[in-house]
Amino acid sequence: MRTLEVGSAVVVKHNDALHPTTVTRIGKRLLWVDVTALPPQLDKCVFDQKTGYGWGAGFALFPLDDAWDTLKLTGSQRAKLETIWAVYGNNGPKHSENDHQFMRGLLELGRDLRQAHPPSEEIRWRVDVILAAGK
């Protein structure tokens, strides 16, 4: 995991859901995040700086850095991605958790989260076509 600083943008993954937040405090081995936007059960999130894993059950930390591209979607791209999300995410007929979180990252965070949530080949191909059309 890369070195984080106070104020660094991060995503907390808990129960296969993504929660954007920021780093608020860094100790010798641990770091803390702003919990105001997190679910109540994550109100005491503490993470190992080296691995990014939380001290507790079922959560991990991912940095939002340049490796996860920031996207500026056109209206047309957003509409097409939302149509795909209705099928592959949000408990659609072809739902898988990785596809759902990948699409959620695109639409809600403006980030390509393939590294954290590898999408299926089918959805990756569809999304790549849509994103390439906007360039």
Reply yes or no on whether the pLDDT at 81 is more than 70: yes
Same domain for 81 and 52: no
Same structural domain for residues 59 and 81?
no
Tell me if 4 is assigned to some domain: no
For residues 63-75, average pLDDT: 66
Confidence of residue 66 (pLDDT cuts 50, 70, 90): very low
The better pLDDT of the pair 56, 60 is held by: 60
Higher pLDDT, 13 or 74: 74
HEC string of 25-88?
A: EECCCEEEECCCCCCHHHCCCEEECCCCEECCCCEEEEECCCCCCECCCCHHHHHHHHHHHHHH
Query: Which domain, by its residues, includes 32?
Result: 9-63
Rounded CA separation 77/131 (Å): 7
Domain-embedded: residue 49: yes
Asked whether the predicted pLDDT for residue 56 surpasses 70, the reply is: no
Residue 109 C-alpha from the chain's centroid: 7
* CB 71, CB 111: distance < 8 Å: yes
